[in-house]
A and B are shown apart, each in its own frame.
Chain A
Amino acid sequence: MGLVFRNVSKSYGAVVAIRQADMEIERGEVRAILGGNGSGKSTLAKIAGGLIGKDTGEILLDEEKIDFSSPKEAKKHQVIMTSQELSLFGNLTVEENISICDVPRRAGFTDKKALKKKARDILASMNLESIVGKKVSELAANQQYMVELAKALAQDPKILLIDEITSALYREDVDIVCRLLADLKKKGCIILFISHRMAELYAICDSVTIMRNGETLGTYQMEEKTEDELLSLMVGTKVESYHGEGRHKGERKRDVFLKASQIRIPSYGTEESLEIGKGEIIGVAGLQGHGQTELIRALYGMYGEISLEKDGQPLTIHSPREAVRQGFAFISGDRERDGTFRERSLAENVLAVQQLVKNQKAKDAKEILDGYNVRYDHPGQLITDLSGGNQQKVVVGRWLSTEPTLLLADDPSKGIDVKARNDLHREFARLAGQGSAVIMISSDDDELVNITSMAETSRVIVLYEGKISAVLTGDAISRENISAASMPINAIPDEQEVSRS
């Protein structure tokens, strides 16, 4: 009979996270849960995984009531959760991390041989032999996610809960995930899959349950509904997903706003140059860890001194502080590390730059929060009370309210829902419309195609091993072209010359 949720509710104080959710999943089924930020998907998964308790309702597994009080108890029943917050130990090796929940022992000590063998078998089945023996902290983000998944597989799950594990994966990783999940399906494993990426949902899942405001609205077979139909259901109003291809303006003469002739990319020891036009949106693509992040961080003065030319005048930037003074802004997708002040209020979070650095006469915090459609109670509440997408809107509000002349965005829509993402794109496009420049990295090629179609002048640059391997403009900006330029084969010099425009 599989897994059944009946009338499950959960509230945090006055905030209702889940309202009488109902859901049935058969054995061997991969079920997607689709919903906006704060719609209760993660909460539902966490309840099933024993991370948090439910208030009312019941959960049945094969017609038997289950009510786990801790993840440990859930694990005994082979209910395994992988979450968007990684549960890995950076100082341990990949193998150790994979076996951490069930360390093989011999005579009271860790059986290192057995541990390594088990982990290596799993890694081999995932085509990840290359990361054997490395420490997790040395891995790129997408590889860390794969280790997280390998760790879940090592525990031989009967129910696997995947909470947005794919938000930082690349296409080749997704293929591996698809294959692994197909194997699990054959064994009768139930898989709950939470993701914002429609392409993955169609590739991986059998059926989808839509959630909105904590309620389960309905379950559909994936093939029954188109992408736009699902999104409309999820948001409650009709929306269209990205349809940017073919809408790009052709290349035209632009006023150069900023010229960076030497941008150092430390991890590859390479140097690149970039000319940034007024009102231009530059999308930065490439496989994870090929220098995209470093490119824009270097422009922001984070790796020490960088010489630029702004409006024809030479300009040297030593630190982020100076970059901010010059009207630069930096929005990171890694909110916890680079964005939010978790112990402080919304007002402090949103006014940080304006009041403390720029010395501007501050606008009212409320005005900014409302202006960027943040859902909140009052400006004095902690930022952690908000959902991830809303937290990101606060960070976006913080920066855009200072009216930056150059916006640097490092995968800013990571882990936020489609609607919030569209809002974000609109804000970025508006900024570009006012003559500011936007440089945005995304691990989602579709997103880059979409946002670059929203500006008068735009380009997508693709990085490979710390070098720009292709510059796409106009109609050449498409998912296929970005994807092709990201792959090693196109980095061969001749090819590169062809794709450079």
Chain B
Amino acid sequence: MMERWKKWNNPYLPAVLGILALMILGQTVTSGFLSMNNISSILMTTAILTMASIGQAAVVISGDSGLDMSVGAVMSLTALFGPMIVLGSGMASLFVMIPAVLLIGGCVGLLNGLGVQVIKIVPLVMTLIMSNVVNGFAILITGGQPSVSVSKELQSISGVFVGPVRYLTAIVLILLIVLEIFFLRKSRYGRSLFLVGDNYNAARLCGINSKKIVILAYGFSGAMAGLAGLFLVGYAGTAQMNMASSYTMLSVAAVVIGGTKLTGGKGTFIGGALGAMVLILITNILQALNMAAGLRSLIQGLILIGILMTNSRAPKLRQ
């Protein structure tokens, strides 16, 4: 029983403690931090980052220094092109948009996966290059000045569902739990992903198609980023060039804070969601302090370094 509790608790503990501490800090710094409105918007932005971090987590778990540095670019891409799909009624186009952004993101991700596994380019380099390619593509098509109108139906995802929970928050929460349990933990793919990420060679000798598993992980990451981009533009209401570029680093940080090992083979989606919440809370507190944008991102960066440092040393501290 003790063992079970420990096993469950350990990877999430830092993120959960961080969330509690930040909430208390936020409330002491500015009253109204824990107001319904603010909580609602924190949950909303957390949900978008969570989507991105789910894909990132899959890639990180797939091992061999797996990282998807194209998350931000893919999100920006689908944020631009997703809303352009118009098909009869607004609702109908929304239902076409979702598979469309999944497909766009998935294709970019698969190219990443092929680059990493077939051409054998280091993941960091491959996905960074892909990020540039995707950005370039977006500029080429839009001429650098996008005119995107976001439909009412798409914007309605930020409508209130119940209490501080908006529609999107609820959708992402359900997706998160379904993906965690039925995709990552129970499905044959998810379980193979852990083994491949842990020991690529041993997994191959066991008869697991390691190559395919890793390529699909990148594809999955791309698809999730595609969806996150659509959510982002629905929430923001307008689309800009490179509007999601900061999500690349944020998704990596969220995954790490959530207890996923950067060396692969171990991790969860839920941890990534908790990590996302920590990051959003930090941003939110800094904004509440009316800090200048430059200083804000400087401090944000320093905090990130601090978190990652303690996290990479955590196993040693625990011993």
Contacts and interface: CB of A to CB of B under 8 A. Distances in A.
A160 B55 CA distance: 50
A357 B7 contact: no
A378 B3 contact: yes
B191 interface: yes
A365 to B, nearest CB: 13
A275 B171 CA distance: 60
B206 interface: yes
Interface in B198-245: 198-199, 201-209
A319 B207 CA distance: 8
Interface in B262-303: 265-266
A360 B7 CA distance: 28
A355 interface: yes
A57 B314 CA distance: 30
A341 B195 contact: yes
Contact of B202 (A324, A340, A355, A381): A340
Given A344-B195, A344-B198, A380-B3, A330 B205 contact: yes
Given A342-B199, A343-B261, A344-B265, A324 B207 contact: yes
Contact of A356 (B192, B202, B204, B261): B192
A356 B208 contact: yes
B119 to A, nearest CB: 19
Nearest to B204: A320
Nearest to B63: A343
B198 to A, nearest CB: 4
Nearest to B188: A356
A67 interface: no
Interface in A320-341: 320-321, 323-325, 330, 332, 337-341
Contacts of B209: 319, 321
Contacts of B192: 356
A131 interface: no
Contacts of B4: 380
A398 B202 CA distance: 12
B64 to A, nearest CB: 14
B12 interface: no
A348 B194 contact: yes
A338 B205 contact: yes
Interface centre among B3, B202, B204, B261 (most CB of A within 10 A): B202
Interface string A299-328: 010100000000000000001110111000
Q: What is the interface of chain B mostly: helix, strand, loop, or mixed?
A: helix
B208 A341 contact: no
Interface string B172-194: 00000000000000001001101
A343 B198 contact: yes
Contact of B195 (A321, A323, A337, A348): A348
Nearest to A342: B198
A495 to B, nearest CB: 36
B191 A343 contact: no
Contacts of A344: 194-195, 198, 265-266
Contacts of A355: 188, 191
Sort chain A's interface into a size bin. 20 to 34
Nearest to B212: A321
Given A341-B265, A356-B191, A325 B207 contact: yes
A323 B168 CA distance: 47
A320 B205 contact: yes
A447 B205 CA distance: 24
A48 interface: no
Given A337-B201, A344-B198, A378-B3, A320 B207 contact: yes
A321 B207 contact: yes
Contacts of A302: 205
A57 B192 CA distance: 46
A352 interface: yes
Contacts of A357: 206-208
A380 B5 CA distance: 12
A222 to B, nearest CB: 39
A353 interface: yes
Contacts of A338: 201-202, 205
Contacts of B188: 355-356
A323 B207 CA distance: 8
A320 B203 CA distance: 10
Nearest to B267: A343
Contacts of A358: 207
A344 B205 CA distance: 17
A325 B261 CA distance: 32
B317 to A, nearest CB: 17
Interface string A196-229: 0000000000000000000000000000000000
A193 to B, nearest CB: 30
Interface string A386-428: 0000000000001000000000000000000000000000000
A174 B83 CA distance: 73
B225 to A, nearest CB: 26
A317 B199 CA distance: 23
Contact of B7 (A320, A340, A352, A380): A380
Contacts of A348: 191, 194-195
Given A355-B188, A355-B191, A380-B3, A341 B202 contact: yes
A343 B208 CA distance: 17
Contacts of B203: 341, 352
Contact of A343 (B3, B207, B266): B266
B315 to A, nearest CB: 12
A381 B2 CA distance: 13
Contacts of A324: 206-207
B205 A356 contact: no
B195 A353 contact: no
A348 B208 CA distance: 13
Nearest to A324: B207
A424 to B, nearest CB: 18
A344 B195 CA distance: 8
Nearest to A300: B205
Nearest to B199: A341
B224 to A, nearest CB: 23
B201 to A, nearest CB: 6
B265 A356 contact: no
Q: Which 6 pairs across A and B sit closest by C-beta, in order of nearness?
A: A324-B207, A357-B207, A343-B265, A341-B198, A343-B266, A321-B207
Given A343-B194, A343-B265, A356-B188, 16 more contacts: A302-B205, A324-B207, A325-B207, A332-B205, A341-B195, A341-B203, A342-B199, A344-B195, A344-B266, A348-B191, A348-B195, A352-B208, A356-B206, A357-B208, A380-B3, A398-B206
30 contacts: A302-B205, A319-B209, A320-B206, A323-B207, A337-B199, A337-B201, A338-B201, A339-B202, A339-B205, A340-B199, A340-B202, A341-B198, A342-B265, A343-B194, A343-B266, A344-B195, A344-B266, A348-B191, A352-B208, A353-B207, A355-B191, A356-B191, A356-B208, A357-B208, A358-B207, A380-B3, A380-B4, A380-B7, A381-B3, A398-B206
